[in-house]
Chain A
Amino acid sequence: MQLHGAGGPRLSGSRRHELAGLLFLSPAIIYILFAFLLPIVYNVMLSFEQTSPATISSLTAPFAGLANYRFILNDPTSRTAIVHTFEFTAGSLVGQFIIGFALALLFTLRFPGRTLGRSLIIVPWLLPLIVTGVIFKFLFQLEGGAVNQLLMDVGLVHQPIDWLDDPHLALLTVLIANIWLGVPFFTLLLYSALQDVPMEVKEAALMDGAGPWQRLRLVIVPIILPVIEVTFLLGFVFTVKVFDLVIALTGGGPANATQLITTWSYNLSFEQFTFGEGAALNNVLLVLAMICSPLYLFLSRGSLRRSSEGGR
């Protein structure tokens, strides 16, 4: 890089300063254009094309108008997948928040074992998702699965439950696995927010004679509300994307009972080779995921506006 010279950028003008900055930024700009913008734009194009296995190698296919979107609207499996995605996301967020917040509150107290608890709670977050999927498939087996074994050993049920192959239960099983997976994220974020609540605030509430529940609801929750919002937002974004877990656990079955937008889109594109239909469904997912983006940008406004003068 031929940017050095006596005096440094301050003296030689803001032009050079800006050029150096743009050069540092250029790999990222190229990457964003190639790996994000191009695929998103191409996905929109694909969704208006009449694709077939033969058109894959030619990059473009005949224009199809709204045919792919019409297919998605009328296809019962696509509609089921959209409904499942909403149910799955809502269930996951509620479960993850309740358990995650309870654990975060627990870890703010002083007792033997809290450090160990806090460091091991992140284990689910670190495992490859496909591994989590196969483990839960193993644990929730009809015969010889640990969950059924436990339920029968303690006498809660007499017959093993068909967690994965009963169409009424399969989505619940996938949901349980996903809650297990997502709790650490909620716990960690909410815990670090709780750490930031000033001691005086908690003490003042105590002096006023507030009980633990009142203190939580009226003092602590309002203070950490921004973090709760962001956590929900990111949790939503993570959950609508879930794919690996479902593919490993149920593959979308039985009888599409656990088919989500992601898994059905994969099926349309990579198993039936109807990429146009898959792309149309992808766009439904993209719009769904993007609903949150204005709110996300708004909540991140501090980070966006921060300039180099900032410092901490």
Chain B
Amino acid sequence: MTRLQRSRALRWLCTLATLAALVVVMFPVYAVVVGSFESTETLFSGTYYWLPHAATLDNFRTVIQAQSGNVLTSLVVGLGTAALALIVAVPAAYALSKYRLRVTVVIVSSLLICQIVPSIVLATSLFIIFHWVHLVNTYPGLIIADGTYAIPFAILVLRAFLFSLPNEVLQASRVDGASEWQTFHRIVVPLARSAVITVAVFAFLNGWGDFIFALTVLNGTTIVPITLGIYTYLGNYSTQWGAVMAAAAFAMVPAAVMLVVAQRYIATGLTAGSVVG
């Protein structure tokens, strides 16, 4: 083989390897979409059909009837988590990057450690604490709990971004007579827009996809996010696969939308999530 042929063969091999990886990555998603259109008979036939087989909308009818409210609940929880994360994280990140404070090292260390704390540890205590302050089975309670995924991450990512903002811009604003608050919300927030969107997207996905807090700080009757809705379809002995697949398809929608609309924010967020300087 000549050198040219060899490098061409190598390139095709790389493409082939990537395709193989993508099949493994995407197949589960494909299986949910196809499965959500399959009839109960097909799903329980004991044979797996690689291609759509006797498509039906029955599963979607069942799920829309039973879970529409739950999808809405998840939407509220996702948006609430994003809002809470922004309210807490944007000013905090600004203070931790642009102010000389004695507490900075302590707070940043605490945030790094907060990211390590397992959710089950928080869930057990929060359940009893929430009982005490009447937050069990409420939206604010669930959103506060879901914030534990989003907030430390949001502050650290925003802080890393704000370091790149030139101090001169802030000084110019102050010289113009703007207050600290005006400088923050008229100058800093607009300039940090892309980082703010990134953390909002991630906080939304955290709230939307949360299961462990929904399972523990809700009692499962009045407020039911879609994740909990899917879980209730998983029986001990028989699973309603058609409904599970259709509900799972619904639960994947935000991820799909984000992947198309906010691809560049997601890639930034994933790498920035492990800010190490």
Contacts and interface: CB of A to CB of B under 8 A. Distances in A.
A123 B120 contact: no
Contact of B116 (A9, A136, A137, A289): A289
Contact of A282 (B10, B25, B91, B121): B121
A126 B266 CA distance: 9
Contacts of A199: none
Interface residues of B, number: 121
Describe A's contact surface by its main secondary structure.
helix
A299 B276 contact: yes
Interface in B199-250: 205, 208-212, 215-216, 227, 230-231, 234, 239, 241, 244-245, 248
A25 B94 CA distance: 8
Contacts of B46: 143-144
Interface stretch (B55-63, B122-130, B190-198): B122-130
Given A126-B266, A296-B116, A308-B98, A35 B122 contact: yes
Interface stretch (A72-80, A200-208, A233-241): A233-241
Given A130-B211, A131-B252, A27 B124 contact: no
A189 B266 CA distance: 13
A296 B109 CA distance: 9
Contacts of A28: 88-89, 91-92, 107, 151, 155
A142 to B, nearest CB: 9
Contacts of B11: 109-112
Contacts of B123: 266
B26 to A, nearest CB: 7
Interface in B234-277: 234, 239, 241, 244-245, 248, 251-252, 255, 258-259, 263, 266-267, 270-271, 274-277
Interface string B11-30: 11011011101101111110
B137 interface: no
A128 B92 contact: no
Chain B at the A interface: SS class: helix
B180 A4 contact: yes
A22 B95 contact: yes
Contact of B25 (A121, A248, A278): A121
A43 B120 CA distance: 11
B166 A311 contact: yes
B159 to A, nearest CB: 8
A240 B120 CA distance: 11
A177 B122 CA distance: 25
B230 A134 contact: yes
B267 A122 contact: yes
Given A18-B99, A117-B21, A282-B120, A39 B126 contact: yes
Nearest to A45: B125
A268 B131 CA distance: 18
B259 A123 contact: yes
Contacts of B2: none
Contacts of A241: 118-120
Given A27-B88, A188-B270, A4 B109 contact: no
Interface in B115-148: 115-129, 131-132, 144-145, 147-148
Interface in B171-198: 171, 174-175, 177-182, 184
Contact of A59 (B18, B132, B210): B132
A120 B44 CA distance: 31
Interface in A146-180: 146, 148-149, 180
Given A17-B99, A289-B118, 20 more contacts: A25-B91, A35-B147, A36-B114, A46-B128, A122-B259, A128-B252, A135-B28, A136-B28, A146-B31, A188-B270, A241-B120, A262-B120, A279-B124, A282-B120, A290-B113, A296-B113, A300-B112, A303-B275, A308-B98, A308-B99
Interface of B: 10-12, 14-15, 17-19, 21-22, 24-29, 31-32, 35, 43-48, 50, 87-89, 91-92, 94-105, 107-129, 131-132, 144-145, 147-148, 151, 155-156, 160, 163-164, 166-167, 171, 174-175, 177-182, 184, 205, 208-212, 215-216, 227, 230-231, 234, 239, 241, 244-245, 248, 251-252, 255, 258-259, 263, 266-267, 270-271, 274-277
The 8 closest A-B pairs by CB, nearest first: A4-B179, A302-B277, A21-B99, A128-B209, A28-B92, A39-B125, A8-B174, A149-B48
14 contacts: A3-B181, A25-B91, A40-B117, A40-B122, A57-B131, A59-B128, A128-B252, A132-B28, A146-B48, A184-B25, A188-B267, A237-B116, A293-B112, A300-B277
